[in-house]
Chains A and B, each alone.
Chain A
Amino acid sequence: MKAAHLARAKMAQTIGFHLLRLVTLITIIPIIGLVVYIVVKGAPAISWEFLTAAPSNGMREGGIFPAIVGTLYLTLGTALFSVPIGVLAGIYLAEYAQETAFTRIIRIAIINLAGIPSVVYGLFGLGLFVLFLHLGTSILAASLTLSIMTLPVIISTTEGALRSVPNSFRVVSTSLGATRWQTIRRITLPQALPGIITGIILGLERSAGETAPILFTGATFFLPQLPRSPLDATMALPYHIFVISTQIPGMPIQIQYGTVLVLLVFVLGMNLIATLIRSRARAKRQW
């Protein structure tokens, strides 16, 4: 009786584990398949001209240079605003804030910012930056919108990286007479830097791939020349993919896959850099 019970339990485990393996495979394989498929279909489109020329003949020929440059501008613009505010806010939460009701409200606000749908950020950017502040549909308005969306990632990774620095570092620094800011700048911040940089890159990676927040704040269908000031609208890779895959009839499929591949290399490249920084820092860490 007991042996039969045990055998049945063992059997259930074998079946169960196989099921879990199957479920994991079904989750993982499409991810690999997707990336491989895009690389295979997109690679033939990639050429020097494709990367450095402007689209011509109603997007059906030429390259995607203005969209690449636009995405670079937007990413840099986003970094310009979100990195200082995000890192300082992370420092505040890790090194300054006491666990009070007010700090809890800040945390709820951050969680809330992280959960707001991207298209709602687009509405907000339209209402505040484009219309109310009269920035118009521009790189500046889109970057500001993306910055606020990116903040929660940067804040929480900065806080996490600072908190993982052992407290003894702070105690020693303080006991040697350093002020709080001296301790942060000379001791905790350098120790936490790899973690913070990883978080910044992951946040910017997400913003580089976003379409909805820039739809009505800074992205434009087609530009005959590159944007010349932060107050110009710009083309951008994600929006360009949306346009050429849904709005242009008879769009050559190869150009579409090529554009998707360029965006994918851009964001996954950032992802890879972040992962490398993180694992190298872990290997070097002495505490």
Chain B
Amino acid sequence: MKAREEKDGLVINGVIRISGYSSILFVVLILFFLLREGLPALTNIPLRSLFSIRWYPIEGYYGILPLIFGSLLITLASTLIALPFGIGTAVYLSEVAPPWLRDLLKPIVEILAGIPSVVLGFIGILVFAPLFRKMLNIPTGLTAFTGAILLAFISIPTIVSVAEDALNTVPHSYRQASLALGATQWQTIWDVTLPAAKTGVLTAVMLGVGRSLGETMAVMMVTGNAPLMPLHLNSLFRPVRTMTATIASEMGEVASGSLHYQVLFFIGITLFLLSLVINITASLVSTKARQRSERLLS
């Protein structure tokens, strides 16, 4: 092995190796620059006011709780909406649809994945918001609910493709055994195939949550951007403000190095850590599952 590489010369092997390692470097760089710009917020603002419920930077109120809860509210709502449609579509495509229909529908779902979020936000403003305002008879259509619906759309392609992959990796023999025992196809889906693909489906949902949490433009355009603490159930039908939207809408106007600037980077750190936890958990869950199924099948 070593001798073969030496013949190629150091340059090309070195370049390939360095490129291979580069992802680690980039993650470290991202974390470093977020911390460098954002950590001073912790020393410059008392923790109690940073974790308070009033966000009004012009007057020096930097309470990030309404932003965190705003993000959580619409992420939760959008996941609840996306879950039945995403998993239902995945099950239909993988288990029920005839092959020709699957080949027709899958690219359509992929098209949705390719539509830029600013385009969905645009349609949200012009079509969804007026529609919901009339249907629900509320003062403005730019609400958490409108955001959640758009986010559900944005996360559905992720959920469908990952969950469908998970269902496809369930060995055919499982289904055949179940059918041979007299179970219907429907029973097989619920009692055999889905439980066998459980971890993959869970990964799909987590990645969908990750997409929703990090989505910026569509959310900023349709949620009304009022930093209100969502305390009641009907907060869903009022404007909210997410962490991502706050960064996107305010970073352009602040002086670099100012307190406001530091807090926006601090929110960035929070988002970075949340997405880190979600993605690493998702990947650990799916690696564990793969190892287990390899053991079972070997």
Contact yes or no, B275 A117, CB < 8 A = yes
Q: Are B7 and A179 in contact (CB under 8 A)?
A: yes
Docked-complex contact A120 and B272, CB < 8 angstroms: yes
User: Given the interface contacts A106-B24, A111-B279, A127-B265, does A117 sit within 8 Å of B213 by beta carbon?
Assistant: yes
Residues of B contacting A: mostly: helix
Which of A21-29, A45-53, A62-70 binds B?
A: A21-29
- Which residue among A84, A152, A241 has the maximum number of chain B CB atoms within 10 Å of its CB? A241
Chain A 48-87 near chain B by CB (<8 Å), digits 1 or 0: 0000000000000000000000000000000000001110
B89-123 interface with A by 8 A CB criterion: 89, 91-93, 96-97, 105, 107-112, 114-123
- Does B84 interact with chain A (Cβ within 8 Å)? yes
Which one of B29, B109, B214, B283 lies within 8 Å of A117 (CB-CB)?
Answer: B214
- Chain A residues 151 to 197 lying within 8 A of chain B, measured CB to CB, are 151-152, 155, 174, 179-182
Chain A residues near B111 (CB, 8 Å)?
Answer: 31, 35, 268, 271
Q: In the bound complex, do residue A118 and residue B214 qualify as a contact, i.e. CB atoms below 8 Å apart? A: yes
B125 touching A117, Cβ below 8 Å: no
Verify if B256 is at the interface (C-beta below 8 Å from A). yes
Known interface pairs A27-B156, A112-B276; A212-B30 also in contact (CB < 8 Å): no
Taking the closest CB of chain B, its distance from the CB of A2, in whole angstroms, is 10
| A116 x B89 contact (CB < 8 A) | no
Contact B272 A114 (CB under 8 A): no
Residues of A within 8 A of B279 (CB): 111-112, 114-115
* A32-B228 Cα distance, complex, nearest whole Å: 35
Whether B19 lies near A92 (C-beta < 8 A) is yes
Given the interface contacts A96-B16, A105-B24, A268-B111, does A20 sit within 8 Å of B119 by beta carbon?
no
Cβ contact within 8 Å between B85 and A23: yes
Interface set, chain A 213-269, CB cutoff 8 A to B: 215-216, 238-239, 241-242, 245-246, 253, 256, 260, 263-264, 267-268
- Closest Cβ of chain A to B112, distance in Å, is 5
Q: Which of B48-56, B167-175, B232-240, B244-252 contacts A (4 or more CB under 8 A)?
A: B244-252
Considering the complex, give the chain A residue whose CB is closest to the CB of B190: A16
Q: Which of B12, B85, B123 contacts A26 (CB 8 A)?
A: B85
CA distance A82 to B82 in the complex (A): 32
Q: Is A277 among interface residues, defined by CB-CB distance under 8 A?
A: no
User: In the complex, what residue of chain A is closest to B9 when comparing beta carbons?
Assistant: A181
Residue B264, interface by CB 8 Å: yes
Q: List 5 A-B contacts (CB under 8 A).
A: A123-B34, A181-B12, A209-B118, A212-B244, A242-B217
B interface list, Cβ under 8 A from A = 4-5, 7-8, 12-13, 15-17, 19-24, 26-27, 29-30, 33-34, 36-37, 84-86, 88-89, 91-93, 96-97, 105, 107-112, 114-123, 125-127, 153, 156, 160, 183-187, 189, 207, 210, 213-217, 221, 244, 247-248, 251-252, 256, 264-265, 268, 271-272, 275-276, 278-280, 282-283
